[in-house]
Amino acid sequence: MINANSRQRLKRLKPRQRKKLRVGEFQELGFTVIANLKDDAAAGAHDGLLDAWLDAVEQHGVSFGGHFSDGQLDGIVFPINGVAVTAEMRSALNAWLQARTEVSDVECSELLDVWHSAW
């Protein structure tokens, strides 16, 4: 895989091209989330957790895409409307999930390029 943000490549691209390719200063970061839920929680509790999770993500001005099945929440948090995903936002959302009683364990990746990473 070619490094989309290599210095050599960015040097030959004009700002318009960098924006179109989402590289350099136009790179968009996000992080993956895998949260395993406790088996003893009722199905209604899982639905409540999902609604609360989506609200928490939305309060930060970003979005979540993924799936929720077999007692696992799995997906990626990514930027929308020009709001960048930051390390502080990642930490806050990770702490929010860990604080929930329905969740047994949480795994959040480091920030990654959502357009040019194999997540």
**Per-residue pLDDT reduced to its tens digit, 2-48:** 677 888 888 888 989 888 988 888 888 999 999 998 876 666 777 88
Q: Which of 111, 113, 80, 118 is nearest to 94 (CA)?
A: 111
pTM of the model: 0.83
Identify whether the C-beta of residue 114 lies closer than 8 Å to the C-beta of residue 102.
no
What is residue 62's predicted lDDT score, i.e. its pLDDT?
A: 95
d(CA 73, CA 104): 11
pLDDT band at 87 (very low <50, low <70, confident <90, very high): very high
